[in-house]
Structure 1
Amino acid sequence: MKKALLLLFPILLFTATSCDTLNQVAQTTIQQYGNPTNLEISNGLKQALEIGTGKSSDQLSTVDGFFANAAVKILFPPEAQKVEKTLRSIGLGKLADNVVLSLNRAAEDAAKGAKPIFVNAIKQMTIQDVTNILLGNQDAATQYFKRTTTLQLSSSFKPVIQNSLNKVGATKYYGDAAAAYNKIPLVSKINPDITDYVTQKAIDGLFYEIAKEELNIRQNLSARTTPLLQKVFGYYDKNKR
């Protein structure tokens, strides 16, 4: 028990020190700049969200943005993982690899269209939305985007995903994999259409990265790269729950 407490103590000390540092910086920032006005809070938070969503979209839309990121990498659908296992067991591992790569390439292609949707959602935020997000939970902005952009992302992404799946060969590869599997005697047949699945996984990946960026700017002083961000998030540090 003593050993566990000794191991835990540095973690608690670091956490307390980090909180103290944020509070100290917040006090200094407020003394230097004063409390932000409602307009400054609105502009500052919108600036932070535009930076965060833009960075997330840009990262995921690059080559290997999904494929090389274990947290968001798209694999065979859960109901088709038995397909992958079976294909690999009968010497069709290359086909399975092509499916996984092409699903992720499609998501990376589709992610290029996310940024304008987030920018539009940010522009439509009210002062009350901004205040609730700033002083809300650590993922308040992410949850706001989920509520306000998921339907639009889905309707926008789906045709792009479909075209992307065709362009990078995902439709063919997955169709080939499904056809090869469906020929195996006594197996339950699977649907070769994966557009909806990849669309949802691409959206999930975006929100995962946005949540990371939101947490970063709330907790990391170095992420506050402008005086306005320092002022607004100094106010957040002082008033957070």
Structure 2
Amino acid sequence: MKKFLLFIPFVIALFCGCDTLSQVAKTTVSQSINPSSLEIGNGLKQALELGTNKSSDQLSSLNGFFGNAAVKILFPPEAQKVERTLRSIGLGKLADNVILSLNRAAEDAAGKAKPIFVNAIKQMTLQDVTNILLGNQDAATQYFKRTTTLQLSASFKPVVQTSLNKVGATKYYGDAAAAYNRVPFVSKVNPDISDYVTQRAIDGLFVEIAQEELNIRSNLAARTTPLLQKVFSFYDKNKK
């Protein structure tokens, strides 16, 4: 009997210990699931670099702009009457050449975006990272718009201008504008197209980046590394 009574506290302690160990295990698992601030920063930056590189590569490839309806560059809005008039008087081939050459110029420029985005990613603070990860679906895209647009414009414009000359866009668009301006009673259009193509190239880049951002936020298969999986699982649990 005495041995049995002595055994009871041991049994109680054992079961209490199991509960305690269970709680410790749960806490340990929870802590291992939630990424640290450093992991969040590294994971998000990894995701953004992958996304921006992919966007730049896609758009700088042959037909990256021309073959993509979402970003394809057409005549400027104020010059669409030029296109209609040219086609109506049998100059449809000239209009087609203008559109193709504008997109080729944007494709040439898009490859210059990578180092600009890499630099913007390196400059991110912990607050930037947190705001992006737990922000709106396009929080990263909006961050890049704020921090890279001026640099992109400065970098893209000379490339666009050179490419417009190289692929004949300056000549084609100048010829198109000249042909249109010869039509009686029309309002004259500016034959300089480089600013328009530069802005449309930048806009197209952000369209692609927004798609990549949405993809990694919503598509588990896009989280291709253990770090991305851990960080965006945390995002899934905490998203608004």
**TM-score in terms of structure 1 length:** 0.87
**1:144-163 to 2 correspondences below 5 Å:** 144-163=143-162
Distance (whole Å) between structure 1 residues aligned to residue 33 and residue 188 of structure 2: 65
User: What is aligned with 1:26?
Assistant: none
Distance (whole Å) between structure 1 residues aligned to residue 124 and residue 164 of structure 2: 34
Distance (whole Å) between structure 2 residues aligned to residue 231 and residue 211 of structure 1: 22
Q: Is residue 208 from structure 1 mapped to residue 207 from structure 2 by the alignment? A: yes
CA contact (8 A) 1:63 1:108 kept: yes
- 2:92 maps to a residue whose letter is G
CA contact (8 A) 1:161 1:198 kept: yes
Distance (whole Å) between structure 2 residues aligned to residue 184 and residue 217 of structure 1: 51
User: What is aligned with 1:112?
Assistant: 111
- Identical-pair percentage: 84
Deviates more, 1:179-188 or 1:71-80: 179-188
Q: Secondary structure, in 3 states, of the residue corresponding to 2:158?
A: helix
- 2:48 maps to a residue whose letter is L
Q: Is residue 182 from structure 1 mapped to residue 177 from structure 2 by the alignment? A: no
Offset, 1:32 = 9.0
Q: Secondary structure, in 3 states, of the residue corresponding to 1:80?
A: helix
User: What is aligned with 2:58?
Assistant: 59
Distance (whole Å) between structure 1 residues aligned to residue 210 and residue 161 of structure 2: 26
Distance (whole Å) between structure 1 residues aligned to residue 206 and residue 194 of structure 2: 19
- 2:193 maps to a residue whose letter is I
User: What is aligned with 2:40?
Assistant: 41
User: What is aligned with 2:96?
Assistant: 97
CA contact (8 A) 1:33 1:231 kept: no
Distance (whole Å) between structure 1 residues aligned to residue 122 and residue 79 of structure 2: 40
User: What is aligned with 1:167?
Assistant: 166
Deviates more, 1:30-39 or 1:231-240: 30-39
User: What is aligned with 2:142?
Assistant: 143
Instruction: Summarize the Cα distance change of 1:32–1:69 in structure 2 as closer, same or farther, 3 Å threshold.
Output: farther
Offset, 1:118 = 0.4
- 1:204 maps to a residue whose letter is D
User: What is aligned with 1:68?
Assistant: 67
Distance (whole Å) between structure 1 residues aligned to residue 67 and residue 236 of structure 2: 34
User: What is aligned with 1:5?
Assistant: none
Q: Looking at both structures, which has the greater relative contact order when contacts are Cα pairs under 8 Å and sequence separation is at least 6?
A: 1
Offset, 1:185 = 1.0
**1:5-44 to 2 correspondences below 5 Å:** 33-44=32-43
- 2:163 maps to a residue whose letter is S
- 2:170 maps to a residue whose letter is T
Offset, 1:146 = 0.3
- 1:65 maps to a residue whose letter is G
Instruction: Summarize the Cα distance change of 1:32–1:64 in structure 2 as closer, same or farther, 3 Å threshold.
Output: farther
Distance (whole Å) between structure 2 residues aligned to residue 225 and residue 169 of structure 1: 41
- 1:35 maps to a residue whose letter is N
- 2:122 maps to a residue whose letter is K
- In structure 2, runs of 5+ residues without a counterpart are 1-28
Q: Secondary structure, in 3 states, of the residue corresponding to 2:111?
A: helix
